Structure 1
Amino acid sequence: MLTMLVGEGANFAAYAYAPATLVTPLGALSIIFSAVLAHFILDESLHMFGVVGCVLCLVGSVTIVLHAPLEKDFESVMQVWHLATEPGFIIYTVVVLVLVLFLIFWCVPRYGQTHMVVYIGICSLMGSLTVMGVKAVGLALKLSFSGSNQFIYVVTWFFTILVIVFCVMQLIYLNKALDTFNTAVVSPVYYVMFTTLTIVASIIMFKEWDSQNASQIMTELCGFVTILCGTLLLHKTKDMGGSPNSSSPFHPSNRDQGA
């Protein structure tokens, strides 16, 4: 748990130094390390499909890193605030908040226990705004440590409160999803939705692809799709490394009965 806290702290810091379109998809690397460590420490068999899934995640991650957009230089958190108050991102924010309220007050009472997308949709939509707030807070901390205090601005505290409130809301509905549905299904679907919406929000707010050509953008998208394929393959085949199915005709007990 301590290493998880350290890892989340490092992930938080990464948003201050790199674009969200690079940091968020690279979260799939944790899946690779989890699978490999589980193989050696917990004696969980890493079968052929698991190895292929890890390789796909690794290839996709390297592709994104090599073609990621450059991070913009910010001298003040007020610059982030100006980007957040541009018409494009305001429209995105309003749409997200309306959808979240609709899901919470109308869909959850009716479909929350039967449709996994309701809870995951709330977490993913709020998560895309949370990451934008995390990037602003991380930037404020980086600039403050370098000698330019950013906590004199009201917007810095606004972003901080937004991150705290949205993180708590995400935890509440993610826990509901995990309590109601299979974790093996919730995890990959949440990763896909959260990452996709975060990239969309980052593109709208920070316009990170403005400096890239069509070839670089398509290569990044291909890397992202490769990571998604690897993640889904790992989760869909995670139980294939267990003991043979007793219903199989090649199972020892069945062979004995046949004899």
Structure 2
Amino acid sequence: MVISTDNVNGLVLAASSSAFIGSSFIIKKKGLMKAGNYGTRAGSGGHSYLCEPWWWTGMIAMIVGEIANFAAYAFAPAILVTPLGALSIIFSAVLAHFILKERLHIFGVLGCVLCVVGSTTIVLHAPHERTIVSVKQVWHLATQPGFLVYAAIIFIMVTVLIFYYAPRYGHTHLIVDVGICSLMGSLTVMSVKAVGIGLKLTFEGKNQFVYFQTWFFTGVMAVCCLMQINYLNKALDTFNTAMVSPVYYVMFTSLTILASMIMFKDWDSQNGTQIATELCGFVTILSGTFLLHKTEDLGSSPSTPPLAYANSSTTQDPNLEGR
């Protein structure tokens, strides 16, 4: 299977991005823990972490990773770049084992291996990026009925989660804050890809910032990113990192691939065998993240289950309701 030059560039940038982002989860978590010792926890709506150097170090690492990820989307299709985020789970899980003492068992190691195998499968069978000569072409794709319906559904779901479910269940159910991050993330990637393409074309001598569409995508990207950062901080401060990272990855990747299929029609140029192989690779990655999730269960003692694990049972511990 021949991999295009653009896909190789996207692969290298995406892998580098995963290293920085995976590390940032752990560094930010350490900063949030330290900030919680002298101020209101982020999970309770506090922002004392803004005075914590560890959190800012993690934030810088995440920004560097996101810049690399941003550039990757300018070269390769989302169906290639996004699943490679599984590598960040590996970095996060390994560092959590050594730094935060969140134990990584044999199932976690096997989960890491499955993530690598699945990522490799997707890389080898990823579709080639379609040729785009202007941001106006991206705007045309984004204003097609299919994607407009998708964006409207995302907006409604995020609104309901923020104003109804987050105040009631945000502290006890991981899926609420992570769900908001993931839903907004799928729109973030589409706008990031549009802006990335605009920058790429601009550097090639075709200025795309003379079009209002480029600035519109930039605005959407900024708003979505800020919302993701806010709710990801809440999830990290309330729940265990080893659970937040894989659950966020699975939801975010699934929604992003769906959004990319609707907007950019990535699979139109591929046959059934190639699509099936990519899906198998993605399922392999999901299996790996599931094993990493189970690693957290194994690492917890029966007497002190993790908050998120306890919340998943049908009987709630009343002592946990206020956390």
User: Which interval holds the TM-score relative to the shorter structure?
Assistant: 0.7 to 0.9
Name the CA distance, whole Å, in 2 between partners of 1:238 and 1:115: 16
1:227 aligns with 2:285: yes
Name the CA distance, whole Å, in 2 between partners of 1:188 and 1:158: 31
Q: Contact conserved, 1:69 with 1:212, CA < 8 A, in 2?
A: yes
Counterpart residue number, 1:200: 258
The CA deviation at 1:229 is 1.3
Unmatched tracts of structure 2, length 5 or more: 1-56, 303-323
- Give the length in aligned residue pairs: 245
1:121 aligns with 2:150: no
Counterpart residue number, 2:158: 100
1:60-112 CA-partner distances (Å, limit 9, x unpaired): 01100111111011100000000000000000001110111111112222222
Name the CA distance, whole Å, in 1 between partners of 2:293 and 2:278: 23
Flag the structure with more relative contact order, 1 or 2, with Cα contacts below 8 A and sequence separation at least 6.
Answer: 1
Q: What is the one-letter code of the residue matched to 1:192? A: V
Name the CA distance, whole Å, in 1 between partners of 2:93 and 2:102: 8
Moved more, 84-93 or 171-180: 171-180
Moved more, 97-106 or 5-14: 5-14
Instruction: Give me the CA root mean square deviation.
Output: 2.5
Counterpart residue number, 1:236: 294
1:109 aligns with 2:167: yes
Percent sequence identity is 71
Counterpart residue number, 2:191: 133
Unmatched tracts of structure 1, length 5 or more: 246-259
The CA deviation at 1:233 is 1.5
Once the two structures are superposed, the pairs formed by residues 36-185 of structure 1 within 5 Å of their partners are 47-185=105-243
Going from structure 1 to structure 2, the CA distance change for 1:22 and 1:236 (only over 3 Å counts) comes to same
The CA deviation at 1:40 is 8.8
Going from structure 1 to structure 2, the CA distance change for 1:175 and 1:60 (only over 3 Å counts) comes to same
Going from structure 1 to structure 2, the CA distance change for 1:188 and 1:19 (only over 3 Å counts) comes to same
1:217-256 CA-partner distances (Å, limit 9, x unpaired): 11111101111111221343258689x99xxxxxxxxxxx
Q: Contact conserved, 1:184 with 1:236, CA < 8 A, in 2?
A: no
Q: Contact conserved, 2:107 with 2:294, CA < 8 A, in 1?
A: no
The CA deviation at 1:187 is 1.7
